[in-house]
Structure 1
Amino acid sequence: MSLSSSDWFSHNGIECSRVNASGSRFPRHLHDEYVICANLSGREEIWLDGKVKEAFAGQVTIYNPSAIQSSQFSQDTVSFVSIHLPQSTLSQLLGNTAAPALREGVFNDARLFQAICRFDAVARQGDETLLEQQLLWLCGELLDDSASLQQGDVQIIHQVKQFLRDHLNEKPQLEVLAQLAGISKYHLVRRFTQLTGLPPLQYHMQLRLHRARELLRQRVHPLDAALQLGFYDQSHFINAFRKVMGTTPHHYAQQIALPQNKFPVA
């Protein structure tokens, strides 16, 4: 029997950790905040409001503040990301209204699952702007404002996308993008992600990396390409390029320069 928490992170009252458990249990308990989990592996048996449910890998569990719940973990290792979100966070997003009651229990929700895992990953990178965006994305999925897009949203997001294309050499700020769009940062991230499939900062990074590839094809040195696109941290540029292109900028440039094109270029 084992139960452990690792990679613990705390920021502005929000706590995030990875929990690993095997053959152990959480007795009945409650929390002051929302608890949102993405189940990565194993099987968890949950008691909530007198009902027993099972949670498996790929599913999401949500508990409202003060909800009484308990968990029994299978002998196979159970692993999940757990985020403890203060009521004040959602209250502020909704204009300082009363904290809402979320849907509660076990769900198949691929978008929310992705948002939880992405927040967990970004939480440890130390980028305040990116972390804020991921929090807005996560809250948008939690609140599930999936009503049809407002008339004019497509044009607004088109303007934001054009602004991002015109400013590839600088890091955009959510405040600036929200002002350009004339909407709140929360609605900007939510609407932009709905229409494009990516939050605005990740979308901007994709544009920068594809421009970097164009420059490398034009025989621009990787260092010069990085500087042209505002990457003053070379390791950041290399890691970002590798993650999207599957190779380093230097190796990509070398392969492009070969007389025989043995390197597949999408």
Structure 2
Amino acid sequence: MNEPQQESQAFWRHAAFRELGLLAARFREHRYDRHTHDGYVIALITEGCERVRVGRQEVLAPAGSVLVVNPEEWHDGEAGAEQGWAYRTFYPSVSLLSEVATELGQAQAPLFPGALLDDPELSRLLAAAHAESTSSDATRAEASLLTALRRLVLQHGDADRPAEPLDRSGAQRRFSRYEKVIEDNLAEDLDLQALAAAAGVTRFQVIRDFKKLTGSTPATFIRDRRLRRANRLIQEGTSLADAAFAAGFADQSHLSRSFRAVHGITPGMFRRAG
């Protein structure tokens, strides 16, 4: 009988696009908590199967398929089969995909309406781009990635969507106030009463607004924003302990636990990737 393979993860930066992070991981027991990114997530499943909720979609992604998560979309992830899953992931920024879209003659950054893509040619190109991301030939690494992103954008991006209408609902207006309070006070203790007072509503209304607009709870949203601030600080060279304090975590251990639950790697691995 074959022994189950151990969980593993490695994170690094692209040879030609230093802002682009890449992950190679194998998970069986690990479960990603619900979270967001300010950029895209593009994941090629190489073994097994992953179960993912993206927004209101729930999909099973088998080996050979590609998962795409748009910026700010809430998502999680866990094993979709007993043996777990392995995957190769790219985390491109909005600016990077905007540049690609511009060169392809599109006016705005693409969005991807379908989280699960069945495109063998795209899978092949992404596998090659991931493998060549550490190449000593940066031009080759660059060309490989751009070729894969070109197919992704042209074949699967929603370039013709109309401009999004302005949401004038009370929930949306209140939510902008909640966000400001959270961003201005991440390093402090935050509670529902502070959010309710900022918008002139009850704590129960705060909970309903978060559920309606994010599908999540205020606490989950606050942790997500704390992690995103810690990410930025770590990338800027701040120590892990100082980043934890500045982002509102109780200590470095608290940051590490939350970081791994969302990113699948430790803050130290993230920092070492440069």
Structure 1-normalised TM-score? 0.51
Taking the aligned partners of 1:77 and 1:145, their CA distance within structure 2 comes to 29
Once the two structures are superposed, what CA deviation does each residue of 1:94-145 show, in whole Å capped at 9, x if it has no partner? 3384322124311211111111110111112221110111121011111125
Aligned-partner residue type, residue 72 of structure 1? E
Deviation at 1:48, TM superposition (A): 1.5
Aligned-partner residue type, residue 35 of structure 2? H
Contact 2:100–2:150 (8 Å) recurs in 1: no
Q: 1:99 aligns with which of 93, 96, 109?
A: 109
Aligned to 1:9: 13
Aligned to 2:45: 39
Taking the aligned partners of 1:30 and 1:124, their CA distance within structure 2 comes to 26
Structure 1 residue ranges, 4+ long, deviating more than 2 angstroms after superposition: 1-4, 7-12, 93-98
Q: 2:94 aligns with which of 87, 90, 98?
A: 87
Q: Identify the range of structure 1 (81-90 vs 67-76) with the bigger mean alpha-carbon deviation.
A: 67-76
Contact 1:42–1:76 (8 Å) recurs in 2: yes
Matches within 5 A, 1:249-264: none
Taking the aligned partners of 1:77 and 1:69, their CA distance within structure 2 comes to 18
Aligned to 2:151: 141
Deviation at 1:51, TM superposition (A): 2.7
Q: 1:130 aligns with which of 140, 148, 155?
A: 140
Once the two structures are superposed, what CA deviation does each residue of 1:44-98 show, in whole Å capped at 9, x if it has no partner? 1111222321011111111111111111114314100000011111212333843
Taking the aligned partners of 2:136 and 2:22, their CA distance within structure 1 comes to 14
Aligned to 1:169: none
Aligned-partner residue type, residue 114 of structure 1? R
2:131 is paired with a residue of what secondary structure?
A: helix
Contact 1:5–1:19 (8 Å) recurs in 2: yes
Taking the aligned partners of 2:95 and 2:53, their CA distance within structure 1 comes to 26
Taking the aligned partners of 2:137 and 2:11, their CA distance within structure 1 comes to 17
In terms of Rg, which structure is larger?
A: 1
Matches within 5 A, 1:110-125: 110-125=120-135
Taking the aligned partners of 1:30 and 1:3, their CA distance within structure 2 comes to 23
Taking the aligned partners of 1:137 and 1:88, their CA distance within structure 2 comes to 17
Taking the aligned partners of 1:44 and 1:94, their CA distance within structure 2 comes to 29
Taking the aligned partners of 1:58 and 1:95, their CA distance within structure 2 comes to 29
Q: Which runs of 5+ in 1 are unaligned?
A: 147-266
User: Which one has more relative contact order, counting CA pairs under 8 Å at least 6 apart?
Assistant: 2
Taking the aligned partners of 1:95 and 1:44, their CA distance within structure 2 comes to 32
Q: What percent of counterpart residues are identical?
A: 22
Aligned to 1:108: 118
What RMSD, in angstroms, separates the aligned Cα atoms of the two structures? 2.2
Q: Which runs of 5+ in 2 are unaligned?
A: 157-274
Aligned length: 146
